[in-house]
Structure 1
């Protein structure tokens, strides 16, 4: 029906977001008044692993969100920090490791296009695919948090800066094998038989 899309009631009804989802934040307290601000702190559970090839924050892991929500002309600016614990494999010795992770993020959630028009602004109308938008008064933090965590995960995690890694010949962990670990003169055993044949004329 004409005129119903801009009403707060219809916007909330049509949203696909669930206000009970811990990643969903209700911004009604800001009143869409530029300059108004509120803070939010909550514990959320990772729904699906935030991961790279060698590190992850596993599914079911609890993380803490510290958020600051600021109303601006275009929408709501969210500045936040996510804290949790990552698990990984050392990129040199492959030992499992676990350490604290902290990642910061800042993202603008724009008012829906109809709301922007009513406020007299059309900025961002051409980059709808790249921007985040409020759905009614709700915003979904999960994709922003996921991106921030994945970018903060180490690409080459190490159990220690001086980890010597694994022996290239036998795969032994060099930190446990000690400095005396070695493999003779380093001749590839596949060439040993040929070397013995070459040395036989000299032995006759």
Structure 2
């Protein structure tokens, strides 16, 4: 279990609320291949834990710093990201009742064990799927030149590479022959 949050001081009476605010270090591999929170960087978590009939409703916000690379031009990226968090963590007996009724969605959700739950899993489930799979430095990033690998932004407007298509070798030979015939006339 990662970041454990205790709800022992939260009354089970519906509507009871407990604020939970903390700066926690980002766990390892928190993000995607091209964009993630650096391990150990501070994540500011501001939540309200509220008792409901099924368990504890978690609502609030997570502010994290992300670093990575643009998927098109490989430019380094670094920016702050804010993500709303809403999750229901079930009391074991309530979860068992829902699972018994065949509710598959509840079966996959967390439950409160020993008056606590794993906040890291909730943060991962709430934040990581909403990160861009192909982050961009800007929406119209032109990327890299496919021939030389340089960033299009760093190249002159008339940048190009001459390509000879081998499928046209026969035409080139024919053109050369025609030019020679014209020279002889």
Q: Identify the TM-score tier after normalising by the shorter chain.
A: 0.7 to 0.9
**Paired residues of 1:82 and 1:102 also in contact (CA < 8 A):** yes
**Paired residues of 2:99 and 2:107 also in contact (CA < 8 A):** no
Structure 2 vs 1, CA of residues 182 and 104 (structure 1 numbering), >3 Å: closer, same or farther? same
Instruction: Identify the residue that residue 63 of structure 1 maps to in structure 2.
Output: 43
Aligned-pair CA distance for 1:166: 1.4
Instruction: Identify the residue that residue 146 of structure 1 maps to in structure 2.
Output: 124
Instruction: Identify the residue that residue 123 of structure 1 maps to in structure 2.
Output: 98
Instruction: Identify the residue that residue 179 of structure 2 maps to in structure 1.
Output: 203
Secondary structure of 1:104's aligned partner: strand
CA distance in 1, matches of 2:19, 2:139: 38
Structure 2 vs 1, CA of residues 85 and 188 (structure 1 numbering), >3 Å: closer, same or farther? farther
**Paired residues of 1:83 and 1:100 also in contact (CA < 8 A):** yes
CA distance in 1, matches of 2:170, 2:38: 51
- Does residue 85 in structure 1 map to residue 85 in structure 2? no
- Given the two structures, how large is their TM-score scaled by the length of structure 2? 0.83
CA distance in 1, matches of 2:164, 2:91: 67
Q: RMSD of the alignment, in Å? A: 2.4
Structure 2 vs 1, CA of residues 154 and 201 (structure 1 numbering), >3 Å: closer, same or farther? same
CA distance in 1, matches of 2:158, 2:26: 45
Aligned-pair CA distance for 1:194: 5.6
Q: Which of 131, 134, 146 pairs up with 1:156?
A: 134
Structure 2 spans left out of the alignment, 5+ residues? 181-185
Aligned-pair CA distance for 1:192: 7.7
**Paired residues of 1:63 and 1:82 also in contact (CA < 8 A):** yes
Secondary structure of 1:28's aligned partner: coil
Count of matched residue positions in the alignment of Structure 1 and Structure 2: 177
CA distance in 2, matches of 1:67, 1:169: 50
Instruction: Identify the residue that residue 47 of structure 1 maps to in structure 2.
Output: 27
Structure 2 vs 1, CA of residues 28 and 156 (structure 1 numbering), >3 Å: closer, same or farther? same
Aligned-pair CA distance for 1:146: 0.7
**Paired residues of 1:124 and 1:131 also in contact (CA < 8 A):** no
**Paired residues of 1:78 and 1:108 also in contact (CA < 8 A):** yes
Aligned-pair CA distance for 1:29: 1.6
Aligned-pair CA distance for 1:189: 6.0
Q: Map Cα deviations across residues 167-186 of structure 1 (whole Å, 9 max, x no partner).
A: 122222111112121225xx
Q: Map Cα deviations across residues 100-126 of structure 1 (whole Å, 9 max, x no partner).
A: 11111211111112xx49xxx933444
